[in-house]
Amino acid sequence: MACAFLHRLVASVPTISTTIAGPAATTACNFGRGKNVRMFASAAGTVASAVTAQEALSKYEELAKNLREIDALEGISGLLGWDEQTMLPSGSAPARAFHKAALAGVLHEKKTNPSLDVLLPVLASPNVLELLPSPEARANVRLAHKEWELQKKKSKEMTAREAALEGRGYAAWVSAREKDEFHHGFLPVLQDIVALKKEVATATRPGWDTYDANLDLFEPGMTVRRLTEIFGALKTDLVPLLQQIMASSRYQTQDKDRPPAFQGGPQWDVNIQAQLSREVSEALGFDYTLGRIDTSVHPFTGGSHPTDVRITTRYSQEKWLEGISGTVHEVGHGLYEQGRNPEQRDLPASRALSMGGLSPEDFYRHVNRVQPDLIRVEADEVTYPLHIILRFELEQALLDGSLAPADLPHAWNAKMKSLLNVEVVKSGEGREGGREGGNAKGCLQDVHWAVGALGYFPSYTLGAMMAAQLWVSAERAIPSLSAEIGRGNFQKLREWLRREVHVRGSVFTSMDELLRTVTGEPLNPEYFVMYLKRKYGELYSMEEGGKEEL
């Protein structure tokens, strides 16, 4: 039973995506890390005259000394971010915002310090670059050079303002969400954030589309144009799939009139959930001597990577799936970060886990029940991408000015209706078929925009797509993979991921380049769509012969 449970749980809930697809997801979720910014390749200058290999190496070592100091300060910035969301006393937030701004200012100084003006143009010139001894060294120079070019276009003041606004935004969001109050508490900060993101994009990427400039911070090389194609195709497949599911006899006879998945489901003791999270994360290979797990309002992976990886989740007695799925999701980030470290070690065999009365089949059906609803992090795999597409379309509009921040609640609710056919109804309005929400369950539900992460949401669904594509390659490489996971053993998968994905870090310049190397082709959304069609076809008996043996 334990094996089946682990198999079903991990192989089926939406959060599998990041357990498999590290890099996109990792870039996407590490608010706390402070170094999300990676740049796209552009032609390097040609400054150097004759430089010997010995001179190049000595310059590289001088650069590396600078980079190590910057990395240490970014590790500290990551810890501050983690602490802010897990430990900080409520009254201490304003001082923390000031501290973060001071550190961001120091980081800016370090990233633009005059010795880099001397080192980087020389090292990044193609003839010097090729003298360096390893692909990692060359990637370090390339990334440092791009970051340096970007930082030079920002003032220290702008950097500090960004950091302070992030802290202010987070505090305002926590309070606004709690009170379900958009206009007074949150709107002024959101306006400042949108304005600042435009200002930063104009300063750092003159001539770029504002949304592209923001997107590139989280997913190097991705553009609105390509995303619109990808998501357009996805919408074309998903909307009929969702309709088919909702028209299936199973949905009509069994799901339709049942209360939503989190109402009337089993109630789990929070302490037992925490223990389960710990056990599952250990079974998946998370190393607790180099990390920890805590709780926060919004689950995240923070800390100082890769040596101090701090994941969080949140528990509730009713929404018990959130705790474990948050853990599995964040463990995906955590494994990626810990995978950057060459250390390898064996992991304890997974232990039998009780499910409190549900049969594995019931449990599998329960966690995979398709149900259009309000909250992204509670969504099933079929409706989840529509939540992402909603955000993608709205954040584009915020940045190109066609949507004023003050109109966000209205636009959000309209899109919930058009994309998911979900009506957001305020408490007490009780409209037929509507879901009781308000902004706390609408545009205030997620933390991302509050901390300035516009252009971030697409990474979630890109991560799910990568996961589906990587899974096919992993199965090809390890024929016993499904059987191994059925026995609750994730070691072979983890080893494959470490070797093929995690250790490669940022040696590649884009997701497509990484995928081409690992799977033989750039991102292909078809794998994800095939996965959804097969799985939900079986679950809702919409195709012949597809009944999975349970």
Contacts with a copy of itself, residue ranges (CB under 8 A): 68-69, 72-73, 75-76, 79-80, 83, 87-92, 94-96, 98-99, 101-103, 105-106, 110, 287-292, 304, 307-308
Nearer residue to a copy of itself within complex by CB, 68 or 225: 68
Nearer residue to a copy of itself within complex by CB, 121 or 303: 303
Could you tell me how many helices (H) and strands (E) the chain has, helices first?
23, 5
- Among 386, 346, 387, 338, CA closest to 492: 346
Which residues, listed in sequence order, are joined to residue 302 by a DSSP beta bridge? 310
Residue bearing tokens 């528990």: 315
Q: Are strands 301-304 and 308-313 parallel, antiparallel or unpaired?
A: antiparallel
Nearer residue to a copy of itself within complex by CB, 106 or 397: 106
Residue 282 Cβ vs a copy of itself, minimum distance, rounded to whole Å: 14
Q: Which of 84, 162, 166, 330 is catalytic?
A: 330
Contact 206, 446 (CB under 8 A): no
Let me know if 459 is exposed, middle or buried by CB neighbors in 10 A (0-12, 13-18, 19+): buried
Which residues, listed in sequence order, are joined to residue 304 by a DSSP beta bridge? 308
d(CA 445, CA 322): 14
510: left (phi over 0), alpha (psi -120 to 50) or beta: beta
d(CA 129, CA 121): 10
d(CA 45, CA 185): 47
Q: Is 136 a catalytic residue?
A: no
Radius of gyration of the chain (CA): 23
Classified as helix, coil or strand, 309 is strand
* 508's tokens: 């590649």
* 368's tokens: 């995979």
What one-character DSSP code corresponds to residue 180? Answer: T
Amino acid at residue number 454: L
| Helices (H), ranges, 153-221 | 156-179, 187-204, 210-218
Nearer residue to a copy of itself within complex by CB, 89 or 206: 89
d(CA 349, CA 347): 6
What is the DSSP code string of 346-396?
--PPPPP---TT--HHHHHHHHT-----S-GGG--TTTHHHHHHHHHHHHH
Nearer residue to a copy of itself within complex by CB, 78 or 360: 78
Residue 305 Cβ vs a copy of itself, minimum distance, rounded to whole Å: 10
Nearer residue to a copy of itself within complex by CB, 73 or 331: 73
Nearer residue to a copy of itself within complex by CB, 275 or 517: 275
Collect all residues with Cβ–Cβ distance below 8 Å to 463 and sequence separation of at least 6: 17, 18, 21, 24, 25, 28
Residue 348 Cβ vs a copy of itself, minimum distance, rounded to whole Å: 17
d(CA 461, CA 387): 10
> SS3 for 41-82, per residue?
CCCCCCCCCCCCHHHHHHHHHHHHHHHHHHHHHHHHHHHHHH
Residue 423 Cβ vs a copy of itself, minimum distance, rounded to whole Å: 39
Nearer residue to a copy of itself within complex by CB, 32 or 458: 32
Residue 69 Cβ vs a copy of itself, minimum distance, rounded to whole Å: 5
Residue 189 Cβ vs a copy of itself, minimum distance, rounded to whole Å: 20
Amino acid at residue number 280: V
Residue 203 Cβ vs a copy of itself, minimum distance, rounded to whole Å: 23
Nearer residue to a copy of itself within complex by CB, 69 or 269: 69
* 211's tokens: 């949304």
Residue 157 Cβ vs a copy of itself, minimum distance, rounded to whole Å: 12
Residue 344 Cβ vs a copy of itself, minimum distance, rounded to whole Å: 14
Contact 525, 535 (CB under 8 A): no
Residue 99 Cβ vs a copy of itself, minimum distance, rounded to whole Å: 5
CA distances 47 to 123, 129, 136, 315, Å, are 9, 11, 22, 56
Nearer residue to a copy of itself within complex by CB, 239 or 290: 290
Amino acid at residue number 434: G
Active site residues: 330
